[in-house]
Amino acid sequence: MIRHIVLIKFKSGIDQNVIDSLFDALADLGREIAGMRGFDGGVSVSPENLEQGFRHGFCIDFDDETARDAYLAHPTHQALGAELVKAAEGEISGLMVFDLAM
């Protein structure tokens, strides 16, 4: 299994409806991509306050690297990824992506 973790530092003042819409659209990809197990996303609730501005994030579990790679290449993911970059503080520097083999 691959756990795909994305942390986002959204631009200040971004409307929560925009964030919710992006997360909903990413979650909906599970209906189109075989091997995508689910989507969990939201705002950090850590009491440690070590987010360094990356207050939102999401995780997607995939059966394997093949399923993850299909997600990465999927045209809807490509479009949503571009929207995330535009919405992030500093664009690409406002995103952090980390994949774990489980």
List domains and CATH numbers for the chain: 10-92 (3.30.70.100)
Query: Can you give the pLDDT at residue 94?
Result: 98
Which of 86, 74, 85, 84 has the alpha carbon at shortest distance from 34?
A: 74
Query: Can you give the pLDDT at residue 38?
Result: 87
Query: Can you give the pLDDT at residue 21?
Result: 96
Determine how many CB atoms are found less than 10 A away from the CB of residue 22.
Answer: 21
**Strand locations in the chain, DSSP E?**
2-8, 36-43, 56-62, 95-101
Query: Can you give the pLDDT at residue 79?
Result: 97
Query: Can you give the pLDDT at residue 8?
Result: 98
Point out the residues of the chain with pLDDT beneath 50.
none
